[in-house]
Amino acid sequence: MSGAGVISSPPAYTKRRQANVLKIDQCEFVGSFFQLDQLPRDRRPQVAFAGRSNVGKSTLLNRLVGRRNLAKVSNTPGKTRSLNFFVVNNRFYFVDLPGYGYARVSKSERAGWGKLIEGYLRGSEQLAGLVLLLDCRRELTDDDRRMLGRLAESRLPALVVVTKADKLNRDQLQRKLRRVENELNLPAIAFSSLSGIGKNELLAAIGELVAAKPQI
């Protein structure tokens, strides 16, 4: 994988992940859901993606599945407050959660979709884990911590991804990864939708999340 040397996660972790890269053959948009009781109820595991607005979530999702506009399709204005479901390889779901922290949103609106996200993280039986995206040039926000807190309450695993890795030089990126890992006590993956750094590592980690989820 290009740029693997830049990633500062513990060696065992990186090696294990890259040995077993998940291959995405197929990904289809299923729907946008505004209420928890509308969500798909089948037994396929779900992997959710979260991050503040503009973190690069749509671009990352498109890059992971190798489709240019898949995530954008559902991200048209008015749909940004929904949980957007995609079925991958007909085997599991990617769930694109609303981006948070967008300044031009009213308090009540924010509270509404905060509830939707929190309800989902607390209550979804099929949730295998969360991919939390952090912009490499920004600090952690209270919203980011809140997401991880909810996840910990549900005892679910998190993958932390530092996005737009191409914006930092090698040393800056390593420092950022180390700081995030120390702050959160979780391994972090550097990702760039431009260069492709971190794609295989993230796919392998997602494959592990899905495989570890018991089908109930």
- Residues 84-103: x/- map of binding to ligand GDP (CB under 6 A)? ---------------x----
- Based on the shown chain and the rule CB under 6 A, indicate whether residue 56 belongs to the binding site for ligand GDP: yes
Q: Where are the alpha helices (DSSP H) in the chain?
A: 11-19, 57-65, 70-74, 107-123, 142-153, 170-184, 199-212
Report d(CA 39, CA 157) in Å as an integer: 21
Report d(CA 21, CA 72) in Å as an integer: 25
Beta-bridge mates of residue 130: 48, 158
Closer residue to ligand GDP (CB): 34 or 102: 102
Q: Which of residues 174-193 bind ligand GDP (CB under 6 A)?
A: 192-193
Helix (H), strand (E) counts: the chain: 7, 7
Considering only the stretches 36-44, 46-54, 145-153, 168-176, report the one whose residues sit in contact with ligand GDP under the rule CB under 6 A: 46-54
- Based on the shown chain and the rule CB under 6 A, indicate whether residue 32 belongs to the binding site for ligand GDP: no
Shortest distance (Å) from residue 52 CB to ligand GDP: 7
Binding site for ligand GDP (CB under 6 A): 51, 53-59, 99, 163-164, 166-167, 192-194
